[in-house]
Structures are given as C-alpha cells and as structure tokens.
C-alpha cells in the first residue's frame, strides 16, 4: 500500500503522509487530525479504526453494515482543544445513490493517555438538491453535470 493517492479527508496531501499514518498507529496530535482520520476511515471502511478511536463510554459494539452511503467531502469549520477536551465543528457531504445530503456536527473529543478519542456530537442532516449547472458537491470545482452528476 505504498502507492501515492490523495487523502480522502481532502487535505490535499498524500494519504500515507496524512491520515494513513494515524490509521497505521501514530496517535493523531489534535482533535481535528483525529476527526479527519475518522472521516477517511469512513471512506475506506476502516471500522476497526473507527471503533478504536471512539471513547469506550460512547462506543457502539459494532458499526452497521452500510454499503449505500458514500462520503465525498469533509469541511472542517472550526476546531480547538483546551487541556484534555477538544471539539470539531464539521460538515460532511455524502450521497446514497442519486440522493445527496450533508451532515453537520459539533463533535466533542477527549484525550486520555496521550490519545484523542471521539466522544459524541449533535448531528443534523440536510438534504441537498444539486442543480445540473451548480458547482459539484464533491468540491472538484466542476459543474455537477460534468462531474458526479454524470450519467
Ligand atoms: Zn487525511
Ligand atoms: Zn463531483
């Protein structure tokens, strides 16, 4: 798995130099880095990583099998940490077939023994109706009809 590919979190970096190293075991240094690596883990279906980085107090026993949701874009609006508490406010765009939606969440994180964990969040989901001539929701900068809306 040494090939170069852009990181799914959209940071513009190579996967190995971005979220890949956290998936390989390096502790994410900030709540935002952990959040980004968890988004990438959703994209790559790394359930093991998602559960590992979930705080034991709120961690589900397992994650639902979900083959229909495709996560396409992450935008971190605001993040920060004070002491062992952290927060990240983000928007994550996803599609289920031809239906698009954005999940916006203010998440809380805690640090224990030098590792950040996802604690919980208040998610809100909004349906999106991209127009054919709108900018594509994936963030490519192209028109929807010439990008993800093709076909
Ligand atoms: Zn990344
Ligand atoms: Zn697109």
Query: Could you tell me the pTM of the whole model?
Result: 0.93
Classify 36 as helix, strand or coil.
Answer: helix
Domains and CATH numbers, the chain: 19-146 (3.10.450.50)
Ligand nearest to the CA of 15: 1
18: nearest Cα among 35, 37, 4, 46: 37
Determine the distance separating the centroid of ligand 1 and the alpha carbon of 15, expressed in angstroms: 6
Residues 110, 55 contacting (CB under 8 angstroms): yes
Determine the distance separating the centroid of ligand 1 and the alpha carbon of 115, expressed in angstroms: 17
Ligand nearest to the CA of 95: 2
Greater pLDDT, 4 or 121: 121
The predicted structure's pLDDT at residue 3: 63
Residue entry with tokens 């639902």: 64
Ligand nearest to the CA of 14: 1
**Mean pLDDT, residues 49-56:** 97
Determine the distance separating the centroid of ligand 1 and the alpha carbon of 63, expressed in angstroms: 21
The predicted structure's pLDDT at residue 2: 53
Determine the distance separating the centroid of ligand 2 and the alpha carbon of 42, expressed in angstroms: 18
- The per-residue pLDDT of the chain, averaged, comes to 94
* Res. 1: pLDDT tops 60: no
Classify 95 as helix, strand or coil.
Answer: strand
Q: Count Cβ atoms below 10 Å from residue 24 Cβ, excluding itself.
A: 10
Backbone angles phi, psi at 37, to 5 degrees: -70, -30
Residues 24, 15 contacting (CB under 8 angstroms): no
Residues 81, 3 contacting (CB under 8 angstroms): no
Determine the distance separating the centroid of ligand 2 and the alpha carbon of 72, expressed in angstroms: 8
Ligand nearest to the CA of 147: 2
């Amino acid at each position: 798995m040494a090939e170069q590919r852009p990181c799914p979190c959209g940071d513009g970096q190579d996967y190995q130099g971005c979220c890949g190293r956290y998936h390989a075991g390096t502790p994410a240094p900030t709540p935002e880095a952990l959040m980004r690596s968890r988004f990438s883990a959703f994209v790559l279906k790394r359930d093991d990583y998602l559960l590992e980085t979930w705080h034991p107090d709120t961690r589900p026993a397992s994650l639902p099998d979900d083959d229909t949701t495709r996560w396409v874009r992450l935008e971190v609006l605001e993040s920060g940490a004070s002491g062992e508490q952290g927060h990240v406010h983000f928007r994550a765009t996803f599609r289920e077939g031809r239906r698009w939606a954005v999940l916006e969440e203010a998440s809380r994180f805690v640090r224990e023994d030098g590792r950040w964990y996802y604690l919980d969040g208040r998610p809100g989901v909004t349906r999106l109706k991209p127009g054919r001539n709108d900018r594509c929701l994936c963030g490519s900068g192209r028109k929807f009809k010439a990008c993800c809306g093709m076909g």
